[in-house]
Amino acid sequence: RSREERQQAREEEIRQYAQEIIEKARHAQEELGAEVGQLPTRVKAVASGHTELVAEQPRHKKKLALRKVPNEAALADDYKVAIQSCCGRSHVFVRPNQDDVFFFATDDGLLVAGVFDGHGKDGHRVAGVVRHRVLQTLAERLPEDRLMRTDEDVRAEMEQILRETFESAHRGLAGWTADDMDVALSGAAACVAVYDVPRRCLYVASAGNVRCVFGEARPAERRNSMVGRRVKAKLHPQRLTEDHTTKNPKELSRVAAGPASFVSEGDKTDLQLICAEGSRYPGIPLTRCLGNLVAQEVGVSTEPHVSDLTVADNPNAKILVLATDGIMEVMGDMDVLQTIHQAKQANLQDGVHSVVNHAWDKWQAKAGPNGFVDDMTVCAMWLPVALVVDPDE
């Protein structure tokens, strides 16, 4: 075909895709909206992503539905939490942002955040459903009597709840019909963090490549410094998740032991796409995710990796970041933590905004001014070591 014919075919494909998205939006179920359902009275603040069902322009910021908190500035001031999510840029389609996010706090000292990265034709819808189900489940199931129990007992229950929450979210997706939402080839990576402030315990569960990173700013050693001279703190990063992709040798070996076959993604010879034997589907690098029922048949797992961390009881600044690979692929753990730390507690919103801007610039440098840019989402928290947050360093 001539160049003009190929361009016309591409434009027609885009029109058909846009029309399909609009039709689905008209019949969307309530679960895909920004509003969450009835939550326990212990939940005192909620921020929840809104699933857009029509195409968004590149860099369009995701809306957040807020409950019991007036605006995002108050969320940052009162809970030391800031969220930024924006739509990337696709080679082929102008499409919705396929990332999603939530945060909530309880009156007994739990801070809970989740970040989700959809993939496939209906990845934005899958991410929205998973976000909704995980938020609701954790708000209802996280234990209220934990302060009267042993650390080991609470840790075991938290791990069980997180694993069952992921399993429940996946089972819920399997109940959707193809007419409502494509879950056969659409899915979502997921990462959830629960911080128990009174116990200073952090619990993290992830399936896929949404990353959770903890950073503590420890004072550098004083060497020949003048009396009273302020010593700059040094960030110490700690990754609390594994990247569940075919770049991870352990994960690649696990999937390769099953019925999957692999193909390379273009010139990325180090990134193998998982496919069924004799097929190019599902064609994803994720070795764990929720949804994508075809992928589950060839060894992709829904089981999350769960970890925990006891946060030191000291005045050092402590930062927790959850971010999609749209951020982490081009910035890295330390870059993100440093950007948040440099903004300080008082300017946390500026910090997450800077992270997204820096990531966008790096995608531009990598792919060119009109090249592919992944959706990007970051949720950052300054962790308190008591129910009353200490002032900034």
Task: Please name the residues in contact with 110: beta carbons below 8 A apart, sequence gap of 6 or more.
Answer: 142, 194, 195, 196, 197
Residue 222: per-residue pLDDT = 56
Residue 31: per-residue pLDDT = 45
Residue 51: per-residue pLDDT = 86
Give per-10-residue mean pLDDT for the chain (393 aa): 72 61 46 62 94 87 95 95 96 85 96 98 95 97 93 96 98 79 95 97 98 93 54 88 97 95 77 92 97 96 98 94 98 96 91 98 92 96 67 38
Q: Is residue 20 part of a domain?
A: no
Place of tokens 């209802």: 140
Counted residue by residue, the chain has a size of 393
Residue 34: per-residue pLDDT = 41
Q: Is residue 251 part of a domain?
A: no
Residue 390: per-residue pLDDT = 36
Q: What region does 109 belong to: left with phi over 0, alpha with psi -120 to 50, or beta? A: left
CATH number at residue 150: 3.60.40.10
Residue 215 in 3-state DSSP? strand
Q: Is residue 142 part of a domain?
A: yes
Residue 264: per-residue pLDDT = 87
Residue 269: per-residue pLDDT = 60
Residue 19: per-residue pLDDT = 57
Residue 201: per-residue pLDDT = 96
Q: Is residue 181 part of a domain?
A: yes
Residue 224: per-residue pLDDT = 52
Half-sphere exposure of 127 (CA within 13 A, CB side): 33
Cβ-contact 29, 109 below 8 angstroms: no
Beta strands in the chain (DSSP E): 43-49, 64-67, 81-86, 99-106, 110-119, 187-196, 201-207, 211-219, 233-239, 260-265, 268-276, 282-284, 290-291, 305-310, 317-323, 376-382
Number of domains in the chain: 1
pTM of the model: 0.88
Residue 384: per-residue pLDDT = 85
* 69 token code pair: 């908190």
Q: Which residue range is the domain that position 324 belongs to?
A: 35-217+235-245+301-383
Residue 223: per-residue pLDDT = 54
